[in-house]
Amino acid sequence: MKTKLNDLAFSADENECGAMLDELLRFGEVPLSESEQNDIISRVTRKAEEDMTTTKARKKISRKFITFIVAAALAVPIGAFAVSQLMHKDNVDYYMKGSERIEQNENAVKNYVMENENFKITVDAQLCDGHNLITIESHDAKNSDAQRMLHENPIFNIDVEYADGSGKLDLFQNGYAIGSHAKDGDATVNVFPCEEIDANKDIKMTYSRFAGEDSIPLEGFEFTTNTKPNVKSIELKSADGKKMMLSEFEVYSPDNKQLYKVDTDAYDDFAFIKNNGEKVSIDPANNVNGFGEYLIFGEIINVYDYKGVEIGGVEYLKQ
């Protein structure tokens, strides 16, 4: 296996390497940090440049190509190495600006691929703060019928149950696609409340497609994950003791109380409070999403850059 992979890596062109990467991606992830990955890639890049023929050495070696060489040299699954090379950054940044922070998050689910003859779905990023589980996914249609279905409705239905078979979870799936992504069906966001899920148990998420009589079945479109928080959060309080939680992607009420007036846009009623006291509104270019007791920012923030938030004129601050 090792010799074959090396032979393929040095003889294949970039398109062939890309196809092999997609195939290898299904076999799981290597538990290496991003710095370890980059260190290995850098060392193997130098070795590859020394070993390649003069003609190939003159050609710029892409990181995708080197990524495959790394996997070939080590004879290990590609998943962890491919994160920064294969994540659909444009799709992720459209919904959640700051994809580099997601890439640096070693605990976040990234780059999980499911496909059949009609669709390819990539879970580019899945984040959880203990209140919501949020998934950003990319869609690829493999034929005209699948593309038509994505145009008609870009949202896939997802059933959630405990992986050990102990029960199905009746969760409200807040799925949304906006702008050109809604038209093209190429990327969506799914949000699931997870406070009622046992974080010590794995959950299985199963995809299905409902679009009338010509629905395309999605056998095997499932993956196992969990709801253990994989982002940072801080607790905030108002002067009268009301609590609020600020995580890297949302602010929410731990008591599931309404955050903002229903007759106003959520971001018009909200501001971050920096550590120096400056108040900053949410960038209107961000794809903000709110559902009463929570507000998703449309960007990844560093919670330690802020001492609190203001909602409806009320300040909630770190204690």
Condensed to tens digits (0 to 9), the pLDDT of residues 45-72 reads: 555 555 554 444 444 455 555 555 555 5
Residues 158 and 239 in one domain: no
Examine the fold and report which residue of 225, 256, 289 is the final residue of a domain before the chain moves on. 225
Query: Six-digit token pair at 57?
Result: 């050495």
Residues 75 and 117 in one domain: no
Q: What angle do the packed helices 63-74 and 34-51 form, to 10 degrees? A: 90
Amino acid of residue 217: P
pLDDT at res. 250: 96
Examine the fold and report which residue of 85, 105, 135 is the final residue of a domain before the chain moves on. 85
Q: Which residue has the higher pLDDT, 190 or 261?
A: 190
The Cα–Cα gap between 231 and 235 comes to 14
Residues 207 and 302 in one domain: no
pLDDT at res. 256: 81
pLDDT at res. 219: 83
Residues 181 and 243 in one domain: no
Residues 73 and 114 in one domain: no
Residues 100 and 164 in one domain: yes
Give the CA distances from residue 225 to residues 112, 115, 126, 161, 281, in Å, rounded to whole numbers and listed in that order.
11, 18, 9, 11, 34
Residues 306 and 200 in one domain: no
Grouping H, G, I as helix, E, B as strand and the rest as coil, residue 144 is: helix
pTM for the structure as a whole:
0.72
Q: Which domain holds residue 60?
A: 2-85
Q: Percentage of the chain with pLDDT > 90?
A: 43
Residues 259 and 244 in one domain: yes
CB 62 within 8 A of CB 68: no
pLDDT at res. 31: 45
Q: Is the pLDDT of residue 241 over 50?
A: yes
**Residue 57's beta-bridge partner residues?**
none
Domains: count for the chain = 3
The Cα–Cα gap between 81 and 64 comes to 9
The Cα–Cα gap between 95 and 106 comes to 20
CATH code of the domain in which 162 resides: 2.60.40
Q: Which residue has the higher pLDDT, 145 or 215?
A: 145
Q: Percentage of the chain with pLDDT > 70?
A: 68
pLDDT at res. 259: 79
pLDDT band at 110 (very low <50, low <70, confident <90, very high): confident
Residues 142 and 49 in one domain: no
Residues 66 and 105 in one domain: no
Residues with Cβ within 8 Å of 94's Cβ and at least 6 positions away in sequence, in order, are 179, 181, 187, 287
Q: Which residue has the higher pLDDT, 175 or 44?
A: 175
The Cα–Cα gap between 220 and 216 comes to 13
Condensed to tens digits (0 to 9), the pLDDT of residues 69-102 reads: 555 544 444 444 443 344 588 899 999 998 888 8
Residues 109 and 128 in one domain: yes
Examine the fold and report which residue of 176, 196, 225 is the final residue of a domain before the chain moves on. 225
**Residue 279's beta-bridge partner residues?**
273
Residues 186 and 265 in one domain: no
